[in-house]
Structure 1
Amino acid sequence: MANVSVAAEWQLLYNRYYRKPEIYRMSWKHVELNRNKVACAPFGGPIAVIRDDSKIVQLGGESAQRKLRIFSSSGHLLGETIWKHPGGRLIGMAWTDDQTLVCLVQDGTVFRYTIHAELLESSISMGQECFERNVVDCVFWGNGLVCITETNQLFCISDFKNPNPVKLADPEIEDPPLCMAVIEPQYTMSGNVEVLLGIGDACVLAVEEDGFQQLGLEVLRGPIQKMAVSRDGQWLASFTHDGHLLVMTSNLNEILIEQECEADENLRVIRPSLPEAVEACIDGAGHEFDVLRQRTLLRAASYGQAFCSNFQRDHIQEMCKTLRVLNAVRHPDIGMPLSIQQYKLLTPSVLIGRLINSYKHFLALRVSEYLGMNQEMVIMHWACSKITASLAISDATLLEILLDKVDWLSSFVTVLCFLILFRATNPSFETCKGISYAAVAAHADKNGRRKLAAMLVEHEPRSSKQVPLLLSIGEEDTALMKAIESGDTDLVYLVLFHIWQKRQPLEFFGMIQARALARDLFIIYARCYKHEFLKDFFLSTGQLQEVAFLLWKESWELGKNPMASRGSPLHGPRIKIIEKAQNLFLETKEYTFEAKAAEEHAKLLRMQHDLEVSTKQAIFVDSSISDTIRTCIVLGNHRAAMKVKTEFKVSEKRWYWLKVFALATIRDWDALEKFSKEKRPPIGYRPFVEACVEADEKGEALKSSQNSQILEKEQSLMLGLAWPRKLLMLPPRQRMVNCLVD
């Protein structure tokens, strides 16, 4: 009889068997589904329940205030709140892919709740027309919504993360549709949502933004009462007025299945192929919710696989592992009745995320451990939840609780990782990552427990996570110390820039002065980009010579300005900057040479500036003293040249050299001859002769040689008489010079 009872639960629909097993006896009380609006989340998610205000009901012992209550799939209360939205009747509600409850009211306002019935801050409006015309029906999908107004106008939000309501094309119908379904944007040719409206006797309208079209005229034989689109958007299941279930292509061109819903027939198909039978037992165990039946099917599969030579032996082990996880989350205390298909679609990592979101941390940790996954997320979420829920516990006590638990879990995870690696079953190091105290500390700071955050972050071993968090909680001194200890210059710069913006200059200077790495990095950066701030730093630390060098550099940079020419007024500030540098050098005895150099530099610049103003030629500034004298002589300004000589105490020898070659450059031979006769030249007559020879003036060279009382022998040599052998070895020009002056 037991076997007959089991078989009787199954019903044949087309070529598949289905049944509706009882998974839980719901633990809720005073919940009658026919009196409430209900929204069930997919993948074994929570159930939202609220009293249906469109029905007249007897309250009994209940409060007159409507409450939105959220239960687990086994009926345990997760959260509740009083419904107090004034926007009119609740039209519909559903769960999004990220388990957010979305509620649409009559005026087109969308409210969102967490699984703990906490209202999210921002509401969404479907637009002014929905507000004025009232919403009468809606359809939800993964992360979107379509609604229809009293005037049969359709509005859509394709993604609640980017809630921009869009009006679809006018379907041009007078009566409300009998039913409505949605094909999601990713499954339509246009890439936009497509709404199917069941209207009339045998017609479905497909409505998009750009227009609509009629479908099903050739295949439908009557009005459709209900419609549902498959998850992949390819198929449409519909229920007709005469009790037929139709499965069609989503474009309603072809009916694939037609089934009368009044049809019970029990069949048992036994396949002769043993490997297929074993696979069927394993697959059946995976789809089974009853633990005893799971065991029976898996034992049968285990017995059968012994006689299958080519059967993959790890299938049963994998199924056992999967069923252990599924049975754990299906337990009434957890209340997540996932099927195996839902578990595979959801993935283990998402399941663990949902467990910790429901505060089932211990189970999440055990599942993570069992599946060889990283437990850090579970531990961190538990620690953050503990901080949020322990407002009455002191920071020191809570720190001890957290450290005891987290350190124990960390040690456990580390040992497990070594065992896994030693056995070579999983070469990945992903599960061996250290626990991040920085994330827990950030949560503590967010909840107003800054002291606890500072104590927690001290235990964070990774400087890259530790330092930014110390800055965010105002621990700049500690952050700078930790960054310097790490040796990471990027982290040090991060702290420097943060403190630079937050602290007063003198306070900032005091922090970095005693820390060599921070000080040096600041100086390197400031030399390139922040001269003024760097000067303030050097002044505050008494390094006057460094300020002077910066000023001197600034004067040269100012000289590169293209406007600093032809008597530009920019030379005035340059001179003042150099004089300021001179005064700073004078403050330090070790820099007397630099002070003297700065003084002469300023004096020379002032004279060169005056010369450019008087001559209207931008050729003096930033040239040397010798070049300045030479240029003055070339321009015929002998008085200015003599002034430069006098001011800078140019020696007579240097003066003679400069003037001789300057006069030769402008070929002023009379002046050169006169200059040679003023007195006996301190450099001799050789430079005079060389200047003439270089200018290719032999006659002037002869005059210079005569003025130097050259011997008659040398003159005869100049006239082409016998040449000494050693002179014949020299180049012609040098040979002439030697003859004239030797």
Structure 2
Amino acid sequence: MANVSVAAEWLLLYNRYYRKPELYQMRWKHIDLSRNKVACASFGGPIAVIRDDSKIVQLYAESALRKLRIFNSAGVLIAETVWKHPGGRLIGMSWTDDQTLVCLVQDGTVFRYNIHAELVEPNISMGKECFEQNVVDCVFWGNGLVCLTEANQLFCVSDFKNPQPYKLSDPGLEDSPLCVAVIEPQYVMSGNVEVLMGVPEGGLVVVEEDSVQRVDQVGGEVLGPLQKMAVSGDGKWLAAFTHDGQLLVMPTDFSEIKFSCNCESALPPEQMAWCGMDSIVLYWDDMLLMVGPIGEPVRYLYDEPVVLIPESDGVRILSNTSMEFLQRVPDSTVSIFKIGSTSAAALLYDALDHFDRRSAKADENLRLIRSSLPEAVEACIDAAGHEFDVSRQRTLLRAASYGQAFCSHFQRDRIQEMCKTLRVLNAVRNPDVGIPLSIKQYKLLTSSVLVGRLINAHQHLLALNISEYLGMNQEVVIMHWACSKITASLAIPDAALLEMLLDKLQLCKGISYAAVAAHADKNGRRKLAAMLIEHEPRPSKQVPLLLSIGEEDTALMKATESGDTDLVYLVLFHIWQKRPALEFFGMIQAKPLARDLFTTYSRCYQHEFLKDFFLSTGQLQEVAFLLWKESWELARNPMASKGSPLHGPRIKLIEKAQGLFAETKENNFESKAAEEHAKLLRIQHELEVTTKQPIFVDSSISDTIRTCIVLGNHRAAMRVRSEFKVSEKRWYWLKVFALATIRDWEALEKFSKEKRPPIGYRPFVEACVDADEKGEALKYIPKLADPRERAEAYARIGMAKEAADAASQAKDGELLGRLKLTFSQNAAASSIFDTLRDRLGVS
């Protein structure tokens, strides 16, 4: 009998059964759909209702103010707001895929609302032409809109997330079209929307962005005027109602008329919608007509206005009092509940009934279907998924479980999966939530999108429970709840609200406290934001937010504690721009990492600022080193030569450095070095000016003396010697080699005779030998006191006999050996050394 009562609700359209279960008794009051404009979202979404200002209606007890009301699918009020928009009559409204309500008014302005009736900024204008011509009609799809002006021009927005209105091709119509429909961009080869317009003279005009096409014939048949059109959910089929009461169905390439049906009424339907992919539903004042490709249409009579809401697997029917769902009965349900069914699934369902009544017929049924038992179990599970009635779901799942006990090769988790799915669906179908999803719609929508919709509707607890139940990430739910709580709790003190927030935020590891804190700051609760940031474990999230709410001290502390140099630099640059210099210096002085990073950066790019820092912290020697470094950098300037005036600033910088070094006892050496450096630079600068030769600056004292002698400026050389207390030995060395450089042998000889040289005569010999002047060298070699030196000097200028005589005086066998090697190419000289070694008796 249960089977009979279930199947009794069905109607047969040719060989397919359809059912129309009631989903809800509408909870709203005093809502008459005929007096209102209504927009219903697909996938069991919300319903928007606003009084239709194009109709003259009696207000009853209503306020004269027009209100936009948003209900869930069970008629529970979610939100309402007063409609305040100028711009003329409301032409149309619809819900986008992300459940934003889009409202188009006569002057081409588009207003958007979220599910809580809050205006989403900014408004969108369809353009100047729409404003001037007035909009008379519009068609919405997923996230787009096409509107028609009084001048029969079409304008389009393809995606409200990036609203860029553009004009479509001019359809070239004189009279207004009878009806308009669109094929969504995703189903068009070009990727642009295709607009279909039924015109009074008959046929169709197909308009795209850059083309217009006339369709007067389909499959050889002439098309008369079309009064109403509906495109299938997959964009492949067009249903059209003609002027003579025919319903035509054709592919959207207009290659043939697939079928036609006489609807026995020339009056066009008020609404027309596809019921899944199997049939088309037409609605007149009191009748709903469902037409299939074959067989007689099915009629449903209504004594109140209805709104058709197309879904992927059927049509939801909204009336003043109820919400119904017209759908094709799933095959699994037919196999179980069809009157007289003897399928394995029907026998299994019947076996459970016998088992509950303790009848032996249960075993008999199971024996009959033993070979088909897995298919019967699967059918019961599938049928349970398609049911809206909870008790019937339970019975079907019990039948599946009963059958599974006798199956050895059936997936054990199939029933558990279906139970999970149904628990979720039953929870969201509750009238207080009001999302009457079928199982097919749920699979298309996905659980993550469903949770997102629950969050947006502020059904946070249910969203959290579903996320936990399905093993999904709960962070999104808790984050949204926390932000919504902050927005809605302006009267709650910060400390109390923080406790409430932490209680929930701690449920989820790794949650971004910084994001919640940012929301608190955006809502003007800076103290709460600072308290929340304290709980953020990731410095990379924590520090930037601390800076944005003005907590620079804390940000610097957290950044230095993290050891992340990039974060420390972020804080340093931020404070550097915001705070006075002295305050900034005080902040970083006590933090070694921040201080060191600041000084490292400033040494490269901000010398002046770094000098201020060192002065403020009493590090005079550091300032002095910076000044000295600047003087060297000034020297690299290509203009700092040829007696350039830039040497003046260099000298001043070094003198400043010397003054700072002199103020600390620890830097006596640096002070003296700076003083002498400045003195030397000044002398060198004067020498370059007088000689007009850029060869002195930045050379050493020795090089300066040598250069002066080479240039013949002995007075300047003496001055440098006396200024820097150059020792006599060093002076002799420098003068000897300088005179040799310019080959002034007369002056060299004269210099050697002034007095006995403190460095001896060896440098004189070396200078002459290096200059390849052997004759000059002979003047000084005899004056060498050490016979060894004398022997080696003779050897260097190739005088073997004299070298041998000097070596014999030294009586040094090792020296004789070296000298022999020197003259190894000269046999006569070599024998002299051998004879000498033999005579001296050395080996």
TM exceeds 0.5? yes
Alpha-carbon spacing, 1:111–1:663, altered in 2? closer, same or farther (3 Å) = same
Equivalent residue, structure 2, for 1:632: 708
- Paired AA for residue 687 in structure 1: P
**CA–CA distance in 2 between the matches of 1:435 and 1:181?**
46
Q: How does 1:272-311 map to 2 (within 5 A)?
A: 275-306=374-405, 310-311=409-410
SS at match of 1:657: helix
Are positions 1:521 and 2:597 aligned together?
yes
Q: Which shows bigger deviation, 248-257 or 181-190? A: 248-257
Give a deviation string over 1:631-650, Cα, whole Å, max 9, x none.
22223333322222222111
Q: CA deviation at 1:231?
A: 4.1
Aligned counterparts of 2:472 and 2:400: Cα–Cα separation in 1 = 28
Q: Alignment partner of 2:91: what SS?
A: strand
* Structure 1: distance between partners of 2:411 and 2:823: 103
Structure-to-structure mapping, 1:84-483, within 5 angstroms: 84-200=84-200, 203-215=203-215, 217-219=217-219, 221-241=223-243, 245-256=247-258, 258=260, 261=291, 263-264=297-298, 275-306=374-405, 310-407=409-506, 410=507, 433-483=509-559
Cα contact 2:13–2:298 (8 A) shared by 1: no
| Aligned counterpart in structure 1 of residue 818 of structure 2, from 725, 729, 740 | 729
Tell me the distance in 1 between the aligned counterparts of 2:64 and 2:431.
Answer: 30
Further displaced range: 56-65 or 615-624:
615-624
Q: 1:371 to 1:590 in 2, by over 3 A?
A: same
State the SS of the aligned residue for 1:569.
Answer: coil
- CA–CA distance in structure 1, aligned partners of residues 199 and 379 of structure 2: 43
Please report how far the alpha carbon of residue 326 of structure 1 lies from its aligned counterpart in structure 2 after TM superposition.
0.9
CA distance in 1 between counterparts of 2:410 and 2:228 reads 44
**Mean Cα deviation higher: 103-112 or 333-342:** 333-342
CA contact (8 A) 1:153 1:170 kept: yes
- Return closer, same or farther for 1:17/1:627 CA change in 2, 3 Å cut-off: farther
Paired positions, count:
713
Q: CA deviation at 1:503?
A: 1.1
Classify 1:632/1:12 alpha carbon distance in 2 versus 1 (closer, same or farther; 3 Å).
farther
Deviation at 1:137, TM superposition (A): 0.6
Partner of 2:350: none
- Preserved CA contact (<8 Å) 2:140 2:146: yes
Q: CA deviation at 1:681?
A: 1.5
Structure-2 separation of matches of 1:285 and 1:236: 33
Alignment match, 1:429: none
How large is the RMSD of aligned CA atoms in angstroms?
2.9
Asked whether the 8 Å contact 2:73–2:436 carries over to 1, the reply is yes
1:582-627 per-residue CA deviation (whole Å, 9 max, x = no partner) reads 1110111110100111111112222222333333333322221112
For residue 243 of structure 1, report the CA deviation from its aligned partner: 5.1
Write the letter of the residue equivalent to 1:387: I
1:81 to partner: Cα distance: 1.2
- Contact kept in structure 1, 2:218 and 2:256, CA below 8 Å: no
Say if 2:610 is the partner of 1:534: yes
| SS of equivalent to 1:233 | coil
Equivalent position amino acid for 2:440 in 1: Q
Q: 1:571 aligns with which of 626, 647, 651?
A: 647
Q: Do the aligned partners of 1:13 and 1:259 also contact (CA within 8 Å) in 2?
A: no
1:75 matched to 2:75? The reply is yes
Q: Deviations over 1:169-189 (max 9, x none)?
A: 111111222222222333322
Normalising by the residue count of structure 2, what TM-score does the alignment of the two structures yield?
A: 0.79
Cα separation, partners in 2 of 1:674 and 1:216, compared to 1, 3 Å:
farther
> What do residues 24-83 of structure 1 show as CA deviations (whole Å, max 9, x unaligned)?
111111111111111111222111111111111111111112111111111111111111
Query: Helix, strand or coil: the match of 2:659?
Result: helix
| Secondary structure of the structure 2 residue equivalent to 1:391 | coil
Residues 78 and 719 of structure 1, relative CA distance in 2, 3 Å threshold = closer
Give the letter aligned to residue 356 of structure 1: I
Alpha-carbon distance between aligned partners in 2 of 1:319 and 1:716, rounded to the nearest angstrom: 113
Equivalent pair of 1:90/1:103 in contact (CA under 8 Å): yes
Q: 1:203 Cα deviation (Å)?
A: 2.3
1:641-656 aligned at under 5 Å gives the runs 641-656=717-732
Task: Indicate the SS of the match to 2:743.
Answer: coil
Q: Aligned pair in 2 of structure 1 residues 162, 615: CA closer, same or farther (>3 Å)?
A: farther
Seen in structure 2, the aligned counterparts of structure 1 residues 12 and 224 have a Cα distance that, compared at 3 Å, is farther
Q: Could you say which residue in structure 1 is the equivalent of 2:697?
A: 621
Aligned equivalent of 2:671:
595
Give the aligned partner of residue 54 of structure 1: 54
* Offset, 1:505: 1.0
SS in 1 for 2:540: helix
**Does the CA-based 8 Å contact 2:740-2:771 persist in structure 1?**
yes
Q: State the secondary structure of the residue aligned to 1:146.
A: strand
For the 8 Å contact 2:662–2:671, the answer to whether it is kept is yes
Please tell me whether the aligned partners of residues 631 and 650 of structure 2 are also in contact (alpha carbons under 8 angstroms). yes
Which of 1 and 2 has greater Rg? Answer: 2
Identity %: 77
**Aligned equivalents of 1:297 and 1:719: distance in 2?**
126
**1:386 Cα deviation after fit:** 2.3
Q: 1:710: how far off?
A: 10
Query: Structure 1's 185 and 564: CA in aligned 2 closer, same or farther, altered over 3 A?
Result: farther
Kindly state the Cα deviation for residue 319 of structure 1 after the two structures are TM-superposed.
1.5
Aligned twin of 1:670: 746
Indicate the structure whose relative CO is greater, using CA pairs within 8 Å and at least 6 residues apart.
2
* CA offsets 1:180-231 (integer angstroms, 9 cap, x no match): 2222333322222221222246522221121111246223644433333344
Deviation at 1:516, TM superposition (A): 2.1
Q: Which amino acid aligns with 1:312?
A: Q
Which runs of 5 or more structure 2 residues have no equivalent in the other structure?
263-290, 300-327, 336-340, 345-371, 808-812, 834-843
CA distance in 2 between counterparts of 1:520 and 1:15 reads 85
Q: Residue 543 of structure 1 aligns to which amino acid in structure 2?
A: Q
Give the AA of the match of 1:567. G
The 1:195/1:365 distance shift into structure 2, 3 A limit, reads: same
Distance in 1 separating the partners of 2:727 and 2:526: 74
Q: CA–CA distance in 1 between the matches of 2:653 and 2:599? A: 21
One-letter code of the match for 1:729? R
Map of 2:838 onto structure 1? none
Give CA-to-partner distance per residue, 1:75-97, whole Å, 9 cap, x none.
11111111121101111111112
Distance 1:733 1:571, change over 3 A: farther
Task: Supply the distance in 1 between the matched residues of 2:15 and 2:244 (Cα, whole angstroms).
Answer: 22
> Match of 1:424?
none
CA distance in 2, matches of 1:242, 1:384: 58
1:308 and 1:171 mapped to 2: Cα distance? Answer: 64
Change (3 A) 1:178 1:300: farther
Partners of 1:404 and 1:308 in 2: how far apart? Answer: 47
Distance in 2, Cα, partners of 1:716 & 1:343: 110
C-alpha displacement of 1:350: 2.0
Deviation at residue 309 of structure 1 after TM alignment? 5.0
Are 1:527 and 1:534, in contact at CA under 8 Å, matched by a contact in 2? yes
Query: Which one of the candidate residues 692, 699, 705 is aligned to 2:781?
Result: 705
- TM-superposition CA deviations, 1:135-167 (whole Å, max 9, x none): 111111222111111111111111222222111
Q: Give the counterpart letter for 2:87 in structure 1.
A: G
Q: Is the 8 A contact 1:693 1:733 kept in 2?
A: no
